[in-house]
Amino acid sequence: MTDAGVGRREVMILAVAITCLAAAVFELPLADDDIPGLAVSFALAWAICLMLLVTNGRGGLYRPSAGYLVVFGLFHGGLLVSIALRGPEGFTAYDTSWLYSGYTPSAVRLAILGMATFALVAELAAGRSRHEAPEGGVPPFAGGTFAIAGLGVELVGIAIFAGAVAQAGGLDLVSGGYATFLQANESDGLLGYGTLLIGLGAVLAVTAGGPARTAAWVGLSGYAAVAFLIGTRGAVLFPLLAVLAVEVRRGCRIRPLWTVLGVAGLLVLIGLVRTTRMAGFGALASSVWSSPLDAIAEMGYSLRPTVVVLDWHSSGEPYRHGATLVAVPVRFLEAMTGWHGGPPAFDDRLFNVEILHRIGPIGGSPVAEAYHNAGVAGVVLFMAAVGLVLGRLERRPANPFSNAMVGIVLLPPLIQVRNSFAPVPAQLAIGLLLLCLVHVMRQRADRHGSPALEVRA
């Protein structure tokens, strides 16, 4: 038995169940007009994969790999589940004709294969739960460096976000200005880094504990309130999950009841925000009960990029052989050598740019981009790599630097669930550089014994 009380036999049964389910789904004669069948297949696979990850005593749904899988499932299967429960007429705000193009069953199969691969590799990489007790507190000087760096970075991110809001029209955006906000900042790459810095700063400050932790949550909550009212969701959900993963590693116990209530409340809020930004505040009363399914459906549009790339390659279009995954480093080298490939907005080596030019602003997906580069093998390899990274992180003992690293490394893959891989290397580099700077600051503080950097957790 593992320390968490879950037997190896049960874990193996779940692993075999995932493998068998993935194999069975690839043999099922699913049709693109059988949305209930597709929804059941996806939901069952998602549930089994989550069971494998949450029964190992590493934080439940707040385990980094489990949190990633929760987001992945919502953004790839939410639309199917909503339509299965309410019918196609229940969600007509956006185009759903692509669901009936003939490629949706294959897209669902690829998503299930990706989930199964990710869950199995993450569980194997994490190994048996040793269930180490988290540290009781952060050493004073270390806490001070985490607090100073974290709150400073979070404030910079909030300032970038505030500038983007002001540029788009200020607080008038809360009454349905989502489209205006996007149009005003569509060419501003700085906004994405603002969101990243808010998440990274909150992770570092929460790691510090004490007043810095409280200040980080205050800043994150204020940002979330404005961002949600404007209509953004992922820009709030992704940093929130990364911070919660760090909190659980620090020893914070979140009761299942609070999780259920929090998820339900969040889905209602997302749905209501969507309703107000499209139909105004007058539509609130009639949409309270349908808003959770509306929110799940809207997030579930990340399945569409996979349908799109399947369509592209069915006609013989060649795979990209990793070009989109290394596009940003290659562009950097091109800039250094003087023969640049042009502005990023016109470089189709970037998956998000190619999707935008050929289809429109439908976002991205790790499954879609992996398939676009190397077919089914690409999906298996990419999702296995993500599972390996997150699983290995979970093996690290609970200490300030490991906890911060978990949040820093988890945030970019969460962001990529509905975007392209292009910014991930830069996002990881920024986060790890911040952690290195904290390490250097801590060493200097330890040498000089600076009382100004003391923070009690």
Q: What is the pLDDT of residue 203?
A: 94
pLDDT-derived band at 144, boundaries 50, 70, 90:
confident
200 — pLDDT class (breaks 50, 70, 90): very high
Q: Return the SS3 of 128.
A: coil
- pLDDT (0 to 100) of residue 365: 92
> Quick check: 60 and 66 in contact, CB under 8 A?
yes
Which range has the worst mean pLDDT, 153-162, 177-186, 306-315? 177-186
Token pair belonging to 286: 């009639």
User: CA 451, CA 182: separation in Å to the nearest integer?
Assistant: 45
3 state DSSP class of 176:
coil
| Segment among 138-152, 156-170, 419-433 with least mean pLDDT | 138-152
* pLDDT of 440 strictly over 50: yes
The residue behind tokens 């659980």 is 248
* Rounded-to-integer distance, Cα 365 and Cα 345, Å: 19
Q: Please report which confidence band the pLDDT of residue 69 belongs to, taking 50, 70 and 90 as the band edges.
A: very high
Which one is predicted more confidently, 17 or 214? 214
Residue 82 φ/ψ, nearest 5 degrees: -65, -45
Look at 298 and 9; give whichever has higher pLDDT: 298
pLDDT value of position 447: 65
Identify the pLDDT of residue 208.
87
User: CB within 8 A of 452, min separation 6: which ones?
Assistant: 144
pLDDT in tens, 223-242: 888 887 777 777 888 999 99
Least Cα distance to 263 among 292, 291, 288, 286 occurs for 292
Count of other CB atoms within 10 angstroms of residue 346: 10
Indicate whether 51 pLDDT > 70.
yes
Q: Please say whether the beta carbons of 21 and 116 come within 8 A.
A: yes
pLDDT of residue 61 exceeding 70, the answer is yes
Residue 395 pLDDT > 60, yes or no? yes
Express as a percent the part of the chain with pLDDT over 90. Answer: 27
Instruction: Find, among 123, 140, 365, the residue nearest to 234 by Cα.
Output: 365
Average pLDDT over residues 141-147: 69
pLDDT higher for 350 or 385?
385
Contact by Cβ (8 Å): 150, 214: no
Residue 56: strand, helix, or coil = coil
